[in-house]
Amino acid sequence: MRTAKISRKTKETEIEAKLNIDGKGKYKIKTPIGFFTHMLESFAKHGLFDIQLNVKGDLQVDQHHTVEDTGIIIGQAFSKALGDRKGINRAGYFIFPMDDALAIVAIDISGRPYLNFQGKLQRRFCGDFDTDLLEDFFYGFSTGLEANVAVKIEYGRSDHHKIEALFKAFAKAMKMSCSKDKRALKEMPSTKGLIEK
């Protein structure tokens, strides 16, 4: 089983995570930001990842450390659970429509972190979530996993729908990237024969 348990404690945040990549979409997620929790639950459900996550952060400052560090930890959990990367598709993408919104995510688990984020939101807050930090979450994830992540909100009226479409596309793209190809279970998905991590 491709599983990982990881924790991180700093002066700003305290985060514990358990991940099963080959799960059934079961989750137990607790963060101090309700809308953010909802998005992470959606990610687990639509990617069929079993995730347990407990997040505490210095919200008396702002949400930045909490959101970005959560991205880092989730990325690191995937990195650990994937092990040597043999047999995985490595790359994945998904276009997810949700009501008035459309979001696109493409991921390459290449060993080289990079984020390209495109998308405009109308409001500073969606529920209790600071939407300025959406990009920071994906930056943290890209860094933690050491993956090339491209995310784009193509269009939409509702910020809620745009962000939710993005997290669902993210889930499906990660599911594709992490899936194994039966024809190459013992092969490294790189002509170099190595994906650095």
DSSP 114: E
Helices and strands (H and E) in the chain: how many: 4, 10
Residue 185 pLDDT: 81
Query: Mean pLDDT in runs of 10 for the chain (197 residues)?
Result: 96 98 99 98 99 96 96 98 94 98 98 97 96 98 98 98 99 98 79 66
- Residue 154: what pLDDT? 98
* Triad 148, 19, 96: Cα angle to 5°: 50
Give the 3-state secondary structure percentages of the chain, helix then strand then coil, rounded to 5. Answer: 35, 30, 30
On whether the pTM is more than 0.85, the answer is yes
- Given this model, what pLDDT does residue 134 score? 98
Token couple for 97: 């429509």
DSSP states along 53-81: EEEEE-TTT-SHHHHHHHHHHHHHHHHHH
Which residues, at least 6 apart from 197, have a Cβ–Cβ distance to it below 8 Å?
79, 85, 111, 146
- Choosing among 3.40.140.10, 3.30.230.40, 3.40.50.720, 3.20.20.140, the CATH entry for 3-184 is 3.30.230.40
Tokens found for residue 23: 């799960």
φ, ψ dihedrals at 106, nearest 5°: -130, 140
- Which pLDDT does position 121 carry in this prediction? 97
Nearest alpha carbon to residue 49 among 70, 18, 23, 16: 23
Write down the pLDDT at residue 184. 84
Strands 101-108 and 114-118: unpaired
Instruction: Report the C-alpha gap between 14 and 56 in whole angstroms.
Output: 5
Burial readout 99-138 (b: 16 or more C-beta within 10 A, e: otherwise): eebbbbbbbbbbbebebebebebeeeebeebbbebbbbbb
Task: Please give the structure tokens belonging to residue 156.
Answer: 């939409």
Other Cβ atoms closer than 10 A to 187: 13
Structure tokens at 181: 């190809």
pLDDT at 186 (0 to 100): 80
